[in-house]
Structure 1
């Protein structure tokens, strides 16, 4: 065992140096920034479209006095409810509302006519059901006029609220789940192509002749995990600087049940176990694939299966202690996601110790299975087995 660990560290140091010192590593670090910038740009654009472009416009074809009362009530309600919660009002010339709606340049979703005491809303049936309550509220406020009551609410702040704390801890657990899942899916796929390239260049045979195959697999997994932590530190520093610049030092996220120091430690461990579980599976798959095309073909079903597992884990978060939550915590590939959410909601530490040992056992089992398949289907010379598990067997000679 000591020899395997020593050899694995040699392989890990070799792969880690090769990745970190390559010219493309800076592109790897900067790569996730582009989706973030694009997402922020589209998020701002989407919010603007939602709050401005998608707000319906209702034409007001009332006498001037009634139209003025409706507009004044609309402004008052906007101050209290927010403009995104009410349709826009725009003066329309008096006349037949159906003729106004037929005009291509009017851009009215509906037209309100009549008087404040008896408003008449004209439009398509589906739009009328949507706008009826809003127009009725505006007309009621217009009828009240200056007598529109405004009851002041007395505020009594408390230091703690059990319901609010439970909700905030649930949100913290969900956020940690999503973060670990995204980082795992982003980084674990690199293990696949790494092994295929070395198989193509016949480097893997040289390594297999020098050190045990177990050490090769373990060393590559350790190197990719270390490289992932370099990337996470880089991205985390950028996020921290951005939060301090835009949110300020007073921003404090909800505190998890186990406290931030233990939660961050468990988050690091569960990311490591999630990464090594998926990475060891990818190593086993990559060891059988002979070309990059096969890797890409095999990557899709594994990724889709991992997404299904993640959705199962997110469902289990809302049902702590239920059979589904226990099953998700026992199943090795969903266990890291379930346990990090449990750390945010429950103060008990012993379940995490059990889960970490359980996940480590499965990492060892998957690595052993990958090594066995690699020896059986790749390293054996001659015959169809040397082509890999996923290669088509050649037809027997006549």
Structure 2
């Protein structure tokens, strides 16, 4: 019997639900921003400032967690619980001081910091439970996170029925529940590695010194150049044909389609290998970037099919890059390596978002979007050693 099949059935559902609940903190304010803008008179750009603030907090948190080896020096379940409760408390603080924009921004930066102990740590816990089938497990795990990301648009579409204080406090409660669920719902994994007692500088260096880790990490960086910028640009693309509630539901559909790529890619990875699945999805999403000039003006069936394919593949390679990195990183430092990789990747995403949003004011979408393909192209180039190894093992 394979190790994956020996894992108790409740493990993956608990991981998925806890990760979804914990990372719901990411979108608590974004979903209520239209209400806050109407009520408080904030400018449209306020949502971008708050989103960037949370991203910067996450980058700072992942950097601190990685350099101090938090997820490898302390029990991961405890780290997840503490950060979920702290993030929930920050969201309550944001609700309490929501009318003070500077205070709200500070609470969102702090929320991002504690998310560093939720998203990467959840992946480390999954890697401990699944010695085989990690790509499939992470596919389901990150599919739930993609749906959570897209849910901000669905909540916005339903916003008139959900008062913003109820939504913010509900998300805080949900995140706290996720931390408690994971802490008490999972025991110690069968292949838990002994915790380290010192910083893992040499292990962190494998991002550059180990050819296999370097290949998957650089491929992930190319993916991150494209991913979050596409998520930001999709509403702008849809706004060329839709508005209001219809636009929000369409954005939810396009971004939520990434769950198909994550879960389906995980299923395929068990048969084809994570490197091939990641490479195929990265190449497809890059082709979608290049197809923008032709398809922006295409008839509705082609236009929406293009966006759906882009939504599926722009997210679908993410779990396979994480699986490859977790599989090849030093066993005693998987949490720190994944966390540092996230930190650098999100830093790249912020540069890409700021650049493309700034250029979108003066450059037509048809001329701008193809430049996103730089990330997939460089990612595919970096992935070549792992693709060659996968072909050689056939």
Q: Same fold (TM over 0.5)?
A: no
Structure with bigger strand share is 1
Report the TM range for the smaller structure's normalisation: 0.3 to 0.5
Which structure has more relative contact order (CA 8 Å, sep 6+)? It is: 2
Structure with bigger helix share is 2
- TM-score normalised per structure 1: 0.33
